[in-house]
Amino acid sequence: MANNSIVAQDLVYSYGDLKAVDHISFEVGEGEVLGYLGPNGAGKSTTVKMLTGQIRPKEGRATLLGMDIAKETNKVQEHIGVAFETTNLYEQMTAVENLTLFARLFGVKADPMELLEKVNLQTRGKERVSNFSKGMKQRLMIARAMVNNPRILFLDEPTEGLDPVSSESIRNLILETSAKGTTVFLTTHDMYEADKISNRVAFINQGKIVALDTPSRLKRQYGQRVIKMEIEKEDGQIDIREIPLDDNGSADMVKQLLETENVVTMHTEEATLEDIFIEITGRGLV
Amino acid sequence: MNVKAILALIQKDLTLYFRNRFFAFITLLGLVAYIVIYLLMPTNVEEDLTIAVYAPTIPDIFIEFLTGNDITITKVDSEEALRQGVIDLEYPAGLVLPGEVITGIARGEDTTVTIYLASDVPEEYLDALRTVLSLAFNELSYTLSGDPLNLDIHEEVIGPDLAGQQLAMRDRLLPMLAVMVLVIEMMGLGSLIAEERAAGTLPALLITPISVSGLFVSKAVVGILLAFTQAAILMLFTGGLAYQPLLILATLLLGALLVTGLAFLVASFSTDMMSVIAWSMLLIIILVIPSVGVIFPGTLSNLARFIPSYYLFDTIHQVVNFDATWGAVSSNLVILLIMGIALMLLGIVVMERKLR
């Protein structure tokens, strides 16, 4: 990417003796969606807190839109939007009141109904947030994060605990936003989501970035492509065979099995991001 | 500092405050209740002349004269019992007439009698008592010796001398009611802040361009506004603004500053509304202690001066009940201002540490 919206250089943050973020560096280009993946406690939220000016790095430097977040915090914050992992809305206020408040805090004129329309809440604008379901609150959080038309959007587990339809609508919204040039920093441990909407993904484990690339390159680098076949034996038992796609003689093996065995199903399989994460770190994501 | 953003936060806090049914109800109920309590209290002080008398022998003519002048007499068995009765405010005054006094009067000798007076006996009462007693002793002297009496009345005040400062109970209560309105507000603001922390909305505010100081300014304005407005309404309806309205309003403003600082401290120690209430109750009990000195004069230890609200009670009491001027209470106002600012800064520092 030609213009980097986010540049993190050697960021370090520790809570007492515990190093939550340990010398991490990366760049995120304008309009890019970066999936920031890691298990609980890996340092994802601490990274976001440093990048959004909630805490100051103990070492290193982060610039957003060319401005040092530690030195020009308020200036940077005018151009970013943050949707937190846990809902933190004013529950005794309506959706419109929540959005209007934040528009006033940012000093911008935003149309709350237009924002609510983006997240399919236009009919619930005058209802108090306390009556909303979790999915509705999550969508309202994203609408709130977009109230200042941010150039960088930080989304922390935006689809966590949502039904598939709500999750899909939020993913579409992220893609639409990114297509308009907004940089999206997506923190998640949902590998499927990261794979589907991220231009690049970064794996963070124990405070360090252990891999950073596009999902397809990571799969090529670390994963193994196989053909998986289910074969029914004479006694009715199902036998599963996996044939590596990239080996010499794979085609012959497939041909032979098709001719000699009763192949019930056959499909290709590639490594998931989760498989790759486990391969790199030796641990799962949850 | 972004004034528009601060105004938005103030509007938000006021909206949330009055949407919290508990606090909206408590605020309204408290205000009405305090005004009703004030109005239900007696408006007049007790003006009947009552006197306790210790006299082993007391001539009937003396008693008849006093009762004939609407003085109620209670006989007691000893001088010690009479003194204790006056200290305990059972009688406003006690007269000691030992046998030798009666003998002296009968002989036409110069005579001294002792009257014990309670500390809050009003001047008018004393004047009336002196007059009636002089007449009664003269009557007794003419009867016993045929000569006018040369009488010296020795007055001894038991407890602090507050003669001339008699106040109706409602007037004594008014400073306490005003301070109660202010300190109760500590709970309201404390809860607003603690709830923001619990709901996680403070981080959401802090990633907007509003600064931490802007956030505290908005909270302080809300706290001062709520506390001050309610106390001012109370004073308005109870006549507390009749004499020195500006001075009273300034005092209430300083009081509101004081309790807002305390509310920040309470909020920083609390995680939810229940813990805010628990901490606030503890502070309220301490803060209300100095009111005892106004309701029951002479009963307050000097240690109470270490309680910040002492200067609030004392100033309101002096101004509302004794028409004190700016000059008379200036030292109180300065102490209140210093304490208010100090508590506010301390509250902000502690709260900021918690937020970080």
Name beta bridge partners: A184. Answer: A33, A153
The answer to ipTM > 0.90 is: no
Place of tokens 């002492």: B310
State whether B60 and B137 are in the same domain: yes
Least confident of A193-202, B40-49, B139-148: B40-49
Give the total number of structural domains in chain B.
Answer: 2
- Please list every residue in chain B whose beta carbon sits closer than 8 Å to the beta carbon of residue A55: 356
For B174-226, the pLDDT digits (tens) are 999 999 999 988 988 898 888 888 888 988 998 998 888 899 899 999 999 99
Q: How far is CA B194 from the centre of its chain?
A: 31
CB contact under 8 A, A86 and B200: yes
> One-letter amino acid identity for B222?
V
CB contact under 8 A, B208 and A105: yes
**pTM > 0.80:** no
State whether B256 and B338 are in the same domain: yes
Q: How far apart are CA B177 and CA B335, in angstroms?
A: 21
Token pair, residue A35, equals 């999936």
* Average confidence (pLDDT) over B74-91: 83
- Please list every residue in chain B whose beta carbon sits closer than 8 Å to the beta carbon of residue A107: 2, 4-5, 209
End-to-end Cα, chain B, rounded Å:
20
Percent of chain A with pLDDT over 90: 62
Q: How far apart are CA A8 and CA A61, in angstroms?
A: 6
State whether B96 and B177 are in the same domain: no
Label residue A284 by pLDDT band (50, 70, 90): low
How confident is the model at residue B297, as a pLDDT?
Answer: 64
CB contact under 8 A, B12 and A86: no
How confident is the model at residue B74, as a pLDDT?
Answer: 85
Q: Return the half-sphere exposure (C-beta side, CA atoms, 13 A cut-off) of residue A283.
A: 15
Last residue of a domain, one of B139, B158, B177: B158
- Judged against a pLDDT cut of 70, whether residue B317 lies above it is answered with yes
CB contact under 8 A, A107 and B5: yes
The answer to whether the CB of B323 falls within 8 A of the CB of B347 is no
Interior/surface letters B102-124, b for 16+ CB within 10 angstroms, e for the rest? bebbeeeeebebbbbbbbbbbee
State whether B105 and B122 are in the same domain: yes
Least confident of A33-42, B132-141, B292-301, B328-337: B292-301
CB contact under 8 A, B15 and A97: yes
Answer with the residue of higher pLDDT: B258 or A166. Answer: B258
CB contact under 8 A, A77 and B204: no
How confident is the model at residue B44, as a pLDDT?
Answer: 62
How confident is the model at residue A1, as a pLDDT?
Answer: 46
SS3 assignment, position A243: strand
SS3 assignment, position B347: helix
State whether B202 and B323 are in the same domain: yes
* Average confidence (pLDDT) over A191-211: 93
State whether B332 and B199 are in the same domain: yes
- Name which of A237, A248, A182, A190 is nearest A215 in CA terms: A190
- Please list every residue in chain B whose beta carbon sits closer than 8 Å to the beta carbon of residue A87: 200
| Sequence-ordered list of residues with C-beta below 8 angstroms from that of B173, at least 6 positions apart, any chain | B37, B38, B41, B295
Minimum Cα–Cα distance from B207: chain A residue: A77
**A277-280 long-range Cβ contacts below 8 angstroms, 24+ apart:** A277/A37, A277/A191, A277/A203, A277/A205, A279/A222, A280/A203, A280/A205, A280/A210, A280/A211, A280/A222
Q: How far A279 CA lies from chain B's nearest CA (Å)?
A: 36
Label residue B163 by pLDDT band (50, 70, 90): very low
Q: How far B33 CA lies from chain A's nearest CA (Å)?
A: 28
Least confident of A54-63, A183-192, B167-176, B289-298: B289-298
Residue B163 domain-assigned (yes or no): no
For A80-102, the DSSP string reads: EEEE-SS----TTSBHHHHHHHH
Q: Count chain A–chain B contacts defined by CB atoms under 8 A.
A: 63
The answer to whether the CB of B219 falls within 8 A of the CB of B193 is yes
CB contact under 8 A, B16 and A104: no
Find the domain containing B76 and state its range.
Answer: 49-158
Q: How far B178 CA lies from chain A's nearest CA (Å)?
A: 30
State whether B241 and B265 are in the same domain: yes
Please state, rounded to an integer, the average pLDDT across all residues of chain B.
85
